[in-house]
C-alpha cells in the first residue's frame, strides 16, 4: 500500500493464497517463514515468492536469515486485500448457487458481508436465506445504495447474465464477480472477475484427458522401442 499500487494480475491472484498460508503458519505458532517454505507449500518457486513480496509494503531489510515475519505478512496482505474493513456484497440470482454463496462461511470469515440477495422468481422472493431475504430485482438500485453495497455477484442463468450486469452497473456497482460462463460487457471503470466455476471443471477434464493420451502414447512408444531393441 505504501510504495506501489501497480501490481501485475498474476501477483494479485496469489495474494489470497499467501495470506491463507501466513495465517495458518502464525496460528500454528511459526513466527517466521522463508520464501522457500512459502514456495514449497504453494507450489511456486522461491524467486516468484520474493518478486511478489517485493510488491508489498514489507518493512524488511535485506539479508535477514529467517525470512518474513508471519504476523507482518498477514497484516500487510490483509490490508492489501482490503480486509481492514467489511465489504458489502449483493448476490443476484437466488438459485442453488446464489443461495449457497449467501450462506457460505468462507466469505464472512474474510470480511465479506452478503447483505442482499435478488431474484425475479416470485416464489423465491421473501424467502429467508442465511442472514438475508430474497428481494425483487426491481428494488436492486435502491437497496444497493441504501445498504452501501460495493460488490455484485452474478449468479443467474447464462441468458440473464448481461441483463443483470447492466442493472448492477445502473446501480453504480464498480466491481462484479461473474459466476457464469458468458463474457460480461462493462464500461471500463467497472472491474469484472470471472469465477470460472463450470469452466474450471471443463478445464480439469480437458487437462486430465490430455495428460492421459500423452501418457498412453509415450507408453506405446516405449513398448515399440522395446520391441525394436
Nearer CB in complex with DNA: 51/136? 51
Shortest distance (Å) from residue 6 CB to a copy of itself: 8
- Is position 36 an interface residue for a copy of itself (rule: CB under 8 A)? no
What is the enclosing helix (H) or strand (E) of 144? helix 140-146
Shortest distance (Å) from residue 70 CB to DNA: 12
- Choose the contact partner of 65 out of a copy of itself, DNA, none; CB within 5 to 8 A by kind: DNA
Phi/psi for 92 (5° steps) reads -110, 125
- Choose the contact partner of 160 out of DNA, a copy of itself, none; CB within 5 to 8 A by kind: none
Interface pick for a copy of itself out of 42, 58, 141, 160 (rule CB under 8 A): 42
Shortest distance (Å) from residue 51 CB to DNA: 4
- Helix ranges restricted to H, 58-119: 70-80, 96-103, 105-109
**How many angstroms separate the CA atoms of 109 and 75, rounded?**
15
Q: What is the DSSP string of 8-20?
A: -HHHHHHHHHHHH
> Could you tell me the CA-to-CA distances from 129 to 90, 95, 121, 125, 132 in Å, in that order?
13, 11, 14, 10, 5
Residues 176-215 that bind a copy of itself (CB under 8 A): 176-177, 181-183, 185, 189, 191-215
- Choose the contact partner of 223 out of a copy of itself, DNA, none; CB within 5 to 8 A by kind: none
- Are the beta carbons of 180 and 164 closer than 8 angstroms? no
**How many angstroms separate the CA atoms of 18 and 39, rounded?**
10
Using CB under 7 A as the criterion, which residues of the chain lie in contact with DNA when the complex forms? Answer: 8-11, 34-36, 44-48, 50-51, 53-54, 58, 60-68
**How many angstroms separate the CA atoms of 186 and 166, rounded?**
8
**How many angstroms separate the CA atoms of 53 and 49, rounded?**
6
| Binding flags for a copy of itself, 129-158, as an x/- string (CB under 8 A) | ---------------------xx-x---xx
**How many angstroms separate the CA atoms of 75 and 190, rounded?**
27
Shortest distance (Å) from residue 146 CB to a copy of itself: 20
- Choose the contact partner of 3 out of a copy of itself, DNA, none; CB within 5 to 8 A by kind: none
Instruction: Single out the segment in contact with a copy of itself by CB under 8 A; choices: 15-23, 68-76, 117-125, 135-143.
Output: 15-23
Interface pick for a copy of itself out of 3, 13, 138, 224 (rule CB under 8 A): 13
Query: Hey, is 221 helix, strand or coil?
Result: helix
Q: Applying CB under 8 A, what is the total number of residues that bind a copy of itself?
A: 71
Interface pick for a copy of itself out of 55, 103, 136, 160 (rule CB under 8 A): 103
Amino acid at each position: 500500500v505504501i510504495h506501489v499500487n501497480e501490481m501485475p494480475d498474476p501477483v494479485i491472484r496469489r495474494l489470497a493464497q499467501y495470506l491463507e498460508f501466513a495465517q495458518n503458519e502464525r496460528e500454528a505458532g511459526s513466527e517466521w517463514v522463508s520464501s522457500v517454505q512459502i514456495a514449497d507449500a504453494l507450489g511456486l518457486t522461491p524467486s516468484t515468492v520474493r518478486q511478489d513480496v517485493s510488491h508489498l509494503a514489507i518493512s524488511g531489510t535485506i539479508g535477514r536469515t529467517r525470512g518474513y515475519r508471519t504476523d507482518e505478512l498477514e497484516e500487510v496482505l490483509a490490508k492489501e486485500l482490503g480486509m481492514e474493513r467489511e465489504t458489502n456484497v449483493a448476490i443476484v440470482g437466488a438459485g442453488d448457487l446464489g443461495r449457497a454463496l449467501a450462506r457460505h462461511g468462507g466469505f464472512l470469515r474474510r470480511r465479506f458481508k452478503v447483505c442482499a440477495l435478488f431474484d425475479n422468481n416470485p416464489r423465491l422472493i421473501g424467502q429467508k436465506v442465511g442472514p438475508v431475504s430474497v428481494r425483487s430485482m426491481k428494488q436492486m438500485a435502491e437497496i444497493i445504495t441504501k445498504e452501501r453495497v460495493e460488490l455484485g455477484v452474478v449468479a443467474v442463468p447464462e441468458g440473464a447474465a448481461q441483463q443483470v450486469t447492466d442493472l448492477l452497473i445502473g446501480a453504480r456497482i464498480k466491481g462484479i464477480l461473474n459466476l457464469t460462463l458468458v463474457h460480461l460487457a462493462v464500461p471500463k471503470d467497472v472491474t469484472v472477475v470471472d469465477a470460472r466455476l463450470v469452466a474450471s471443471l471443463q478445464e480439469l477434464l480437458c487437462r486430465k484427458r490430455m495428460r492421459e493420451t500423452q501418457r498412453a502414447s509415450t507408453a506405446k512408444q516405449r513398448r515399440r522401442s522395446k520391441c525394436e531393441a
